[in-house]
Amino acid sequence: MTTRQFLTLGLAAAIMVAIATPARALPVSDTSFVGSWFGTITATNPPLGQFNDLISFHTGGIVTESRRYFVPGTPFGNLLETTGHGAWERTGSNSFEASFRFLVQDADTGAALGTDNVRLSLTLNQDPGALTGTFESQIKDTAGNVLLIVTGTFSATRIAV
């Protein structure tokens, strides 16, 4: 076998090994974080109560969140909110940040009021079926001026088959 044939054979073998090697799996905390969750939001400052949400963290850093669309009795009256859309990223071995935005309108008149801009700081607990953390919600008018800031806690459990 000539040197050229030997090098060609070696290169072909290296390519075959690279093709046959499975892609590197996501770290456990990423695979445990990605998915859909049933959450509980507790607004503590100001104390506006507690409600549930559905939130999904997709591969590629995309997040979607849904909660009740009709929100009665807010400081701004009865509201309607859309589903929230945004992004997430890892900030530590078991910690993540997410930001998403909802469109907000007056439920009685249909007038656009602005946006609800939410930021979550989350920890994936050792049990990969639980998330805990805090949130900050900034309600902004259509010009982007902050009208109200609400903070509190967030907890969620994975939605499993």
Tell me, which fold does domain 27-158 have in CATH?
Lipocalin (2.40.128)
The two three-digit tokens of residue 127, written as one number: 């049990």
Give the per-residue pLDDT at 1. Answer: 55
90 has a pLDDT exceeding 60: yes
**C-alpha–C-alpha distance, residues 66 and 54, integer Å:** 5
- CB count within 10 Å of CB 39 equals 20
Give the per-residue pLDDT at 80. Answer: 97
Nearest to 103 by CA among 94, 92, 114, 93: 114
The two three-digit tokens of residue 78, written as one number: 């009865």
Residue-wise pLDDT tens digits, 115-139: 999 999 999 997 778 999 999 999 9
Beta-sheet strands, E only, within the chain: 35-45, 49-58, 62-67, 70-74, 77-81, 84-90, 95-106, 112-124, 130-141, 146-158
Sign of CA dihedral 76, 114, 64, 123: negative
154 has a pLDDT exceeding 60: yes
Give the per-residue pLDDT at 31. Answer: 59
Instruction: Kindly state the DSSP code that residue 75 receives in the 8-state scheme.
Output: T
Residue-wise pLDDT tens digits, 2-61: 544 433 434 333 333 333 333 333 344 455 799 999 999 999 999 989 999 999 999 999
74 has a pLDDT exceeding 60: yes
**Predicted model pTM:** 0.78
